[in-house]
Amino acid sequence: MKMNLSNKIYEMRKAQGLSQEQLAEKLSVSRQSVSKWESGEAIPELERLIELSKIFNVTTDYLLKESDVDELTIRTKMLENQQQVILTEAQKTKRRQYQILSCTAIYLVAFALLIIFRFALFNTPIGSALPGITGYLIIFAVATAIAITVNMHYDKHAAV
């Protein structure tokens, strides 16, 4: 398949997983400009061609010369981008699961310790060992601080 500049911009934008608006933002132009380039109604200025070559990681020579493009290469790039999106979503899901489980565990341990200490310290029946609202607020604040610290530590090490 012979491809000219407009086809290449369209195909490479799609392969990168970019919308016309996203590409326009990267180039500091309007979405309509990108649309006109892709439809062949207009040609990007030299400065924009250079920026396009950097964004798409190709030479300006490649962009400007009509050529046969290996459709498999474009499809491979699209699949790689889709795979990256899936991996990113999996990482977000793993992070959310960790946050939920760690916070649940922290609050359960805090509540259990509260009950154990109140019962042990005052040697009272379990029903009367429950603290007043102030005790709950203090334990909740401490557990929240611990949960935030644990999750920040996880985020810091997950990013590395």
The DSSP string of 29-98 is S-HHHHHHHHHTS----HHHHHHHHHHHT--HHHHHS-EE--HHHHHHHHHHHHHHHHHHHHHHHHHHHH
pLDDT value for 156: 79
* DSSP structural state of residue 135: H
pLDDT value for 54: 92
Average pLDDT on 53-79 reads 79
pLDDT value for 57: 85
Q: Give kind and range of the element (H or E) at residue 2.
A: strand 2-3
**pLDDT tens-digit map of 98-151:** 999 999 999 999 888 877 777 766 665 555 545 566 767 888 898 999 999 998
The average confidence (pLDDT) of the chain is: 84
Of the candidates 51, 41, 45, 42, the one whose C-alpha atom is nearest the C-alpha of residue 12 is: 51
pLDDT value for 123: 60
Q: What is the CA radius of gyration of the chain?
A: 28
Q: Are 63 and 5 in contact (CB under 8 A)?
A: yes
Q: Give kind and range of the element (H or E) at residue 3.
A: strand 2-3
Q: Are 140 and 134 in contact (CB under 8 A)?
A: no
pLDDT value for 124: 56
Whole-structure pTM value: 0.49
**pLDDT tens-digit map of 19-29:** 999 999 999 99
In the chain, count of helices (H) and strands (E)? 7, 2
Q: Are 55 and 26 in contact (CB under 8 A)?
A: yes
| 82-31-72 Cα angle (round to 5) | 35
pLDDT value for 129: 47
